[in-house]
Amino acid sequence: MRAAPSAIGQRAAPGAADQALWLRAAKVALVGLLCAGLCWLAYAWSKELFVEQARRQARATLALYTQSLKGELRKYEILPEMLAGRREVVELFRQRSAPGAVERANRLAESVNDISGAADTYFMDAEGLTFAASNWNSEQPFVGRNFSYRPYFQQAIRGALGRYFALGTTSNRRGYYFAYPVREGEAILGVVAVKVNVKRIEASWAAAPNEVMVADGNGVIFIASREGWRFKTLGPLSQAAIAEIESNRQYRLGDLSPLDSDWRSGGRVERVSIREAGSDGGGTRVTDYLVESRPLSEAGWTVHVLTDSSLARGQAIWAVALTALACLIAVLTLALARQRRRRLIERIEIERAGAERLEQRVRERTADLTASNLRLEEEIRERRSAEEALRRTQDELIQAGKLAALGQMSAAISHEFNQPLAAIRSYAENAGTLIARDRLDEAGDNCTRIWELTGRMAEISKHLNAFARKPRRRLIPVSPTAVVEETLKFLKGRLDSAKAEVRFSPGPADLQVMAGPLRLQQVMTNLLLNALDAMAGRGTPRIDIALSSRNDRLLLSVRDHGPGIDEAQLDRIFDPFFTTKEVGSGLGLGLSISYNIIKDFDGSLRAENHPDGGALFTVELPLIEADSGTTDTAGTADGALRRASGF
């Protein structure tokens, strides 16, 4: 029953696959057409935009160049009129045949030319003959030459301001000429002419991003940012224009030829294509320009600014490339999103299939974890029991160390008790005798001494009880100075019996640390007894004790003057059951217990050999700020011992 649908599905599968393939191809084609359309729109829109930007820039450049050209010409336009109006110039024209007049005129023209920066300044008589010029001393002076054929002379001799652009027939240099008549009354004596060099204007345009050309009324390009365009014509010259140029000797006709260009106007935009020889001489290069033009009416010229349109095309191509890249990114993003969606669906199916297996495993693991938790809880209880046993063992070791120290001090303690007891017995016998003899005052003195001796024995007993008692583990502010002094009192009998000399440098009185006073005293007792043992049989033993502080840390040092510690044994000196004493003289636990006690106080205990001989043990503990309100009885060792031991 289930096989038939499966077979039908298998037979229909190829047709469905073909349909899906065609559908996918149609989608790809549609996306491709859409991207192509977007790229075409981007090209058309961006090209129009960049062309308009180029035109705006060209118009601004054209206005700037036109104003600079006008300004340059106007600067020299009034110069001939000013010279012609000077009385000195009129006298030179009127008496030019007088001795020295020509020389004075030459000097004047030369001086004016140097000051104004003009190319040439010269004086002509009414017939157009030059009798004085600024270049009188050059190889090709204007003096003696007749320029009556020039339009600027003809305009000036008729009483008007003459202006004209031409190629100099003498200097062969381009220039713009201004001329003005020299009058005496109504009579015109001659003409003053000034030539302006346009090469300086071209030099200022050389660094411009646009190309510039200036053409006269006949379409002859006489100023251009490109040297190859000079003396080219915008189109073929008419016969009348050729005749005019030839009669005025404005240019050399042999130099004039049409510019190989194609001028066209497309709506608002004027364009020109100029064909030139390639820079390497290997063919013709055609450049398409956008043209902006403006007439210079007073001179009869037209200024053209040309912008290479390939820049706008290049920017438009970049816009197309960016559009194509954006389309590609969008298509790839869409494809990636669809692929991720398919993978997500597949992953959901896989996760759904594996969910049941996972639930089964979770149930199995839950059972395992429950059993593991039970075992872990049992291990925790065992660990806590072990830690508690270890803590009790450590306390017992500390207590054993105390009792061992008491055992070592038993001889001195016995001596401390025997002497007072003997004295008490003697004083008591004497007191009885004195009472019998009715010498009550002297008997009272003996009783006072007996009271003092019993007080001393009680003090010794109190110290022994406090030292032997198990200490409390709570840390309180402790004065290390008081602990050292109390320890010295406690060991006084042992120190006296050994005839030891103790030098104690207490340091600042306000030093305090957080510690257990009895445990800290046990450390000091152990260090002092070890020092005495190290100096046994060495005459008068000497022990140096010093208290100091450094970087908020307390430094408590105990130095003996014995043989020191073997370098090979320094690393093991704090190990449990390690001792340098003879067999039976100790268990090797004193330094190990002291090390752990100081470690409980967040401090350290170091052992080293002093450079001048003997062993040096240093206890380092963190200092705390003194607080009189909480350490009123900590200033004395007796107060610290009472508070710690419960007295």
Q: Does residue 535 surpass a pLDDT of 60?
A: yes
Q: Does residue 173 surpass a pLDDT of 90?
A: no
**Contacts with 403 (C-beta within 8 Å, 6 or more apart), sequence order:** 468
Q: What local confidence, expressed as pLDDT, does residue 97 receive? A: 83
* C-beta separation of 324 from 35 below 8 A: yes
Q: How far is Cα 241 from Cα 40, in angstroms, rounded to an integer?
A: 48
Q: What is the pLDDT of residues 589-614, one digit of tens each?
A: 778 888 888 998 999 999 999 999 89
Which tokens belong to 161? 């301001």
Query: Mean pLDDT highest for which of 232-236, 249-253, 433-437, 475-479?
Result: 475-479
Number of H helices, E strands in the chain: 15, 20
Q: How far is Cα 445 from Cα 443, in angstroms, rounded to an integer?
A: 5
**Residue 103, phi then psi, degrees to nearest 5:** -65, -40
pTM of the model: 0.42
Residue 546 one-letter amino acid: A
Q: Does residue 543 surpass a pLDDT of 90?
A: yes
Q: What local confidence, expressed as pLDDT, does residue 582 receive? A: 61
Choose between 477 and 269: higher pLDDT.
477
Share of residues in the chain with pLDDT > 90 (%) = 13
Q: Which of 509, 518, 458 has the alpha carbon at shortest distance from 487?
A: 518
Beta-bridge partner residues of 288: 273
Q: What local confidence, expressed as pLDDT, does residue 192 receive? A: 93
β 553-560/542-550 pair status:
antiparallel
Burial class (CB in 10 A: 0-12, 13-18, 19+), 330: middle
Q: Does residue 621 surpass a pLDDT of 90?
A: yes
Looking at every residue in the chain, the average pLDDT score rounds to 78
- In 10 A of CB 165, how many CB atoms? 24
**Contacts with 457 (C-beta within 8 Å, 6 or more apart), sequence order:** 416, 417, 420, 421
Mean pLDDT lowest among 109-113, 284-288, 514-518: 284-288
Element (H, E) at 333: helix 310-408
Q: What local confidence, expressed as pLDDT, does residue 606 receive? A: 92
Burial class (CB in 10 A: 0-12, 13-18, 19+), 144: exposed
Q: Does residue 10 surpass a pLDDT of 70?
A: no
Q: What is the pLDDT of residues 436-474, one digit of tens each?
A: 888 877 778 778 878 766 766 665 665 555 555 555 567
What one-character DSSP code corresponds to residue 70?
A: H
Q: How far is Cα 401 from Cα 526, in angstroms, rounded to an integer?
A: 9
Q: What local confidence, expressed as pLDDT, does residue 545 receive? A: 95
How does residue 480 score in pLDDT terms, banded at 50, 70 and 90? very high
* C-beta separation of 120 from 192 below 8 A: no
Residue 402 one-letter amino acid: K
3-state secondary structure of 77: helix
Q: Does residue 149 surpass a pLDDT of 80?
A: yes
Q: Does residue 495 surpass a pLDDT of 70?
A: yes
Q: What local confidence, expressed as pLDDT, does residue 129 receive? A: 92
3-state secondary structure of 119: coil
Q: What local confidence, expressed as pLDDT, does residue 2 receive? A: 45
- Average of per-residue pLDDT across 190-216: 80
Q: Does residue 534 surpass a pLDDT of 70?
A: yes
Q: Does residue 432 surpass a pLDDT of 50?
A: yes
**Residue 251, phi then psi, degrees to nearest 5:** -135, 170
Mean pLDDT lowest among 65-69, 316-320, 639-643: 639-643
- Average of per-residue pLDDT across 320-325: 74
- The per-residue DSSP string of 596-626 comes to HHHHHTT-EEEEEE-TTSSEEEEEEEEEE--
Q: Does residue 341 surpass a pLDDT of 60?
A: yes
Q: What local confidence, expressed as pLDDT, does residue 8 receive? A: 42
- Average of per-residue pLDDT across 66-76: 79
Q: What local confidence, expressed as pLDDT, does residue 639 receive? A: 44
Please name the residue ranges forming H helices in 498-619.
517-534, 590-600
Question: How much of the chain is in helix, strand and coil states, percent to nearest 5?
Answer: 55, 20, 25
Q: Where are the beta strands (DSSP E) in 185-251?
A: 187-196, 211-215, 220-224, 232-233
Choose between 93 and 411: higher pLDDT.
93
- Average of per-residue pLDDT across 499-526: 89
Q: What local confidence, expressed as pLDDT, does residue 547 receive? A: 93
Q: What local confidence, expressed as pLDDT, does residue 14 receive? A: 60
- Average of per-residue pLDDT across 145-161: 90
Q: What local confidence, expressed as pLDDT, does residue 408 receive? A: 54
Which tokens belong to 328? 């590609």
- Average of per-residue pLDDT across 427-432: 77
Q: What local confidence, expressed as pLDDT, does residue 461 receive? A: 64
Q: What local confidence, expressed as pLDDT, does residue 558 receive? A: 94
Which tokens belong to 327? 């389309």
- Average of per-residue pLDDT across 221-239: 78
Q: What is the pLDDT of residues 159-169, one digit of tens each?
A: 898 888 887 77
Residue 323 one-letter amino acid: T
> Would you mind telling me the total number of residues written for the chain in this entry?
647
Q: What local confidence, expressed as pLDDT, does residue 527 receive? A: 92
* C-beta separation of 304 from 213 below 8 A: yes
How does residue 28 score in pLDDT terms, banded at 50, 70 and 90? confident
Q: What is the pLDDT of residues 103-148, one digit of tens each?
A: 898 899 889 888 888 888 999 999 999 999 988 888 889 888 998 8
Q: What local confidence, expressed as pLDDT, does residue 31 receive? A: 75
- Average of per-residue pLDDT across 15-19: 73
